[in-house]
Structure 1
Amino acid sequence: MARILVIEDDPVVARVTELVLQRAGHRPVLARDFLSAKSALAEPADAVILDINLPGGNGLELLRHLREELGSRTAVLILSALKQEDVIVRGLKLGANDFLTKPFSPQELILRLERCL
């Protein structure tokens, strides 16, 4: 059972993601804005599911913080409604392990997450 930090501001997407992860046997922990996510990153997680557009900041900045300042090798799966190639490429260059766009298939989310783990 992996501890998965889900950083998502949309309450519906956050709840669906939480349920999908629980059904797959994982322990999701939710953060809904930039500041609570940054604080939650101090606790060890097996993986992070990261939205880009967050209240109070940008998910890509959190990814940079995780990789550069914390030196973390934690698996990161970006889950975003943004589909522009430059955003996807930037996320991957900053160290994301994978990028999935919304709306998403629960099965695909679990498969991609487990591949990252």
Structure 2
Amino acid sequence: MAKVLVVEDDPVVARVLEIALRRAGHEVRLAPDFLSAKGLLGGDWDAVILDLNLPGGFGLDLLRHLRQELGRKTPVLVLSGLKQERTVLEALRLGAQDYLTKPFSPNELLLRLKRHVAQG
């Protein structure tokens, strides 16, 4: 199915995402911090699931890097505990296709991912 980069520092959330994505047939790569994610963003991903609060940096800076510096249109689904309207709007303005807040439903995330990858 899709090659998905999961940028998530919480090992429990990362594992839940990894299991759900693999069960749905996706290839998954985990990046637990800002620097490892930045190094992987140039890869050939079908989608990125992006947390915002990361060790070493802020997820919106990764989104900005992906869109502006790398020029990639890879679908990005932000998955964050941050619910402030300005943060959500900034993520969407920077080019995120979707914004989900934690706690989240893995089934809902999979459906949204499927929709964005199909549109991508």
TM norm structure 2: 0.96
Matches within 5 A, 1:23-34: 23-34=23-34
Pairwise CA distance, 1:100:
0.4
d(CA) in 2 for partners of 1:114, 1:97: 12
Unaligned runs of 5+ in 1: none
Deviations 1:48-101 (A, max 9, x none): 000000000000000000000000010000000011111100000000000000
Q: Distance in 1 between matches of 2:90 and 2:29?
A: 25
Structure 1 segments of 4 or more deviating over 6 A?
A: none
SS of residue paired to 2:45:
coil
Shift of 1:107: 0.8
Q: Partner of 1:112 in structure 2?
A: 112
Q: Which amino acid aligns with 2:76?
A: V
Which residue of structure 2 lines up, in the alignment, with residue 37 of structure 1?
Answer: 37
**Could you tell me which amino acid in structure 2 is paired with residue 40 of structure 1?**
L
Amino acid at match of 2:62: L
Q: Answer yes or no: is 1:103 the counterpart of 2:103.
A: yes
What's the offset of the Cα at 1:115?
1.1
- Which ranges in structure 2 are unaligned for 5 or more consecutive residues? none
Q: How many residues matched?
A: 117
